Amino acid sequence: MLENIRLSFQGLWSHKMRSFLTMLGIIIGIAAIIAIVSTIKGTNEQIKENLIGSGDNTVNIRLYQGDNTYEIGYMGIPDGVPVISEETRRQMLGLEHVEGASLYTSRETYNAVYYQNTGLSGGRVYGIDKNYLDVGNYIIRKGRGFLASDYEKYRKVAIMDTSSAETLFEGEDPIGKTVEIQQEPFIVVGLIEKSKKFEPVINDIEEYYTYMGDTSGTVYVPDAVWPILYSYDEPQSLVLKLDSVDNMTTAGREAANILNLELNVTDETMKYKADDLLKQAEDIQNLSQSTNTMLIWIAGISLLVGGIGVMNIMLVSVTERTQEIGLKKAIGARKGKILGQFLTEAAVLTSLGGIIGVIVGVVLAETISKVTGTLVSISIPAAALAVVFSMAIGIVFGLLPSYKAANLNPIDALRHE
């Protein structure tokens, strides 16, 4: 086998230009497939990032009535929806793939948050438990987070994100300043932001409502003082931190099912649902799947053309080496030996073309990314499969010439001019 490979490289090197032109169809086909697959994979990741956010492995489970979230500020506290207990929160930590769980309540900030004569509108006020900042992947940019004593002593302290701080304080340092929330004074003790910055792409009104709390500014207070601002016994929402974005759908559905078992409502449309952004991303990806598949098949046509070129050049090679084949058979070479030599030569030719095609495809994908700004993601399995597939093309299309060589009559072969 190794001898056949050595002879194959020797034959390729002795006909460099012919070998390169033969490989060209394979190179173009593999390069096109690698570039297309990398662009498709990168686009799918971009879709997922636009909806979910890079590195944010969290899912929110909120109370819904029908297809819309239940807004307590407008609709009041619903009957039959109990407060989520600490025991239930801990139960969520036992779910597979869940690394953290936190409870929170929220309201819109319309006419609710003021600093002197400047108001915050369009954002939200959150009442959060001790776990929220860690579960939500927040970091303290300035000041401090909430302490255990803030909850125990019912301190009226607040934390803001950068958007709300810029709106209310217009460049001033917010730490230590007093803001009014529902006409109650709260001291700002911290400024927070997501550990990874994410700017969502908002395409419609539904996505606007999904992200408006993040884009318009948010104020956080300890959930212990929430009843001072709003109501006692408000139903909370739940946020889970997962080990991977890919597990959001499953974990969110399981958590919602647990919460729904505790409901005692007459309206059957009122239930907890997870904000399944991963499902939305997958639906969008599936819409383009047929187009992506068609592009790959079109690129595969060039591989077929390349395979025909391999068959052609191998037939030429058999004709050129007829006397060599006759001599080998005359001194005792078996059909299998001749067949193996020519199949190896065809496989080496196309495998080398496949490797070069992968390199060209990666360079092409990166070039497309830089020129168009499209995200690409190189698929290692696709690259490995492309090389294996190119080798298979060599074996398939080299089979006929190899079979022809193996079945030559040694006497006729030696007489060939």
353-370 confidence digits (pLDDT tens): 888 888 888 888 888 778
Tell me, yes or no, whether 296 and 409 share the same domain.
yes
pLDDT for the residue numbered 274: 85
Residue 207 scores a pLDDT above 80 = no
Domain span at 156: 58-243
Tell me, yes or no, whether 209 and 351 share the same domain.
no
Question: Is 74 within the bounds of a domain?
Answer: yes
Tell me, yes or no, whether 45 and 66 share the same domain.
no
Q: Which of 243, 271, 305 is the last residue of a domain?
A: 243
Question: Is 273 within the bounds of a domain?
Answer: no
Residue 138 scores a pLDDT above 50 = yes
**Phi, psi (rounded to 5 degrees) for 122:** 90, -10
Tell me, yes or no, whether 238 and 112 share the same domain.
yes
pLDDT for the residue numbered 198: 47
Tell me, yes or no, whether 31 and 98 share the same domain.
no
Question: Is 147 within the bounds of a domain?
Answer: yes
For the chain, what is the mean pLDDT? 79
Give tens-digit pLDDT for 79-102: 889 999 999 999 999 999 999 999
Task: Pick 176 or 75 by higher pLDDT.
Answer: 176
Task: Please state, in angstroms and as integers, the Cα–Cα distance from residue 361 to each residue in 216, 271, 283, 354, 367, following that order.
Answer: 42, 49, 28, 10, 10
pLDDT for the residue numbered 212: 47
Residue 143 scores a pLDDT above 70 = yes
Give tens-digit pLDDT for 272-322: 988 765 455 555 555 556 666 776 677 677 777 777 777 777 777 766 666
**Structural domains in the chain (count):** 2
Question: Is 249 within the bounds of a domain?
Answer: no
Tell me, yes or no, whether 359 and 337 share the same domain.
yes
Q: Which of 243, 267, 295 is the last residue of a domain?
A: 243
Tell me, yes or no, whether 315 and 297 share the same domain.
yes
pLDDT for the residue numbered 213: 45
Question: Is 40 within the bounds of a domain?
Answer: yes
Q: How many CB atoms lie within 10 A of CB 196?
A: 11
Residue 230 scores a pLDDT above 70 = yes
pLDDT for the residue numbered 284: 53
Q: Which of 191, 224, 243 is the last residue of a domain?
A: 243
Question: Is 168 within the bounds of a domain?
Answer: yes
Tell me, yes or no, whether 292 and 225 share the same domain.
no
Tell me, yes or no, whether 144 and 226 share the same domain.
yes
**12-21, 209-218, 301-310: segment of lowest average pLDDT:** 209-218
